[in-house]
Amino acid sequence: MIITRETDYAIRILRSLADLQLKNIREISDEQMVPRQFAYKISKKLERAGFIEIIRGAQGGCRLTRDLHDITLMDIINVMERENMITSCLDGDFQCPYHRRYGFCDVHEALAGVQGKLSAYLATIHLYDIMFPHGGPAPVKASGASRDAL
């Protein structure tokens, strides 16, 4: 599992929206240095995941809908990455020739343990803590958020 450019861009888009202001993709893209064609694609994934709302029209834009304290790095990785395993042999559809020949694979078992620990750890890292390690801004509230402040 590697944090890809797409995941990095998703975090940047959410960081731009942390102030709870309605912003269009051009503003977000310019502010966060995310190529516009990626920003459009990623924002749609973030909307489907329920992290942002996209309002269409001349006065539209994007708005954060979830509290950044409640979104983990693992949440973003799961939304952005089709394959979030550290190696392809952990994918359920992977057909391991070694396992097929010998009926077991110690390497697979060891890597599965690493994957489990890494996934569990990433699920403890909240986006707010990544974006604002020293406290940062405390906007009022994202609509639909479960806390009084971000």
Q: What is the pLDDT of residue 59?
A: 86
Q: What is the pLDDT of residue 62?
A: 96
Give pLDDT tens digits for 60-101.
Answer: 899 999 999 999 999 999 999 877 777 767 766 677 777 778
Q: What is the pLDDT of residue 104?
A: 80
Q: What is the pLDDT of residue 150?
A: 37
CB atoms within 10 A of CB 7: 20
Q: What is the pLDDT of residue 137?
A: 61
Q: What is the pLDDT of residue 7?
A: 94
Domain covering 5-83+126-131 assigned CATH 1.10.8.590 in the classification? no
The alpha-carbon radius of gyration of the chain (Å, integer) is 18
Extract the tokens encoding 122.
Answer: 């990433």
Q: What is the pLDDT of residue 88?
A: 67
Residue ranges, the chain, pLDDT below 50: 140, 145-150
Identify the burial level of 25 via C-beta atoms within 10 angstroms of its C-beta, where 0-12 means exposed, 13-18 middle and 19 or more buried. buried
Q: What is the pLDDT of residue 149?
A: 37
Q: What is the pLDDT of residue 146?
A: 42
Contacts of 109 (CB under 8 A, 6+ apart): none
- Rounded to a whole number, what is the largest CA-CA distance in the chain? 62
Report the distance separating Cα 6 and Cα 76, nearest Å: 10
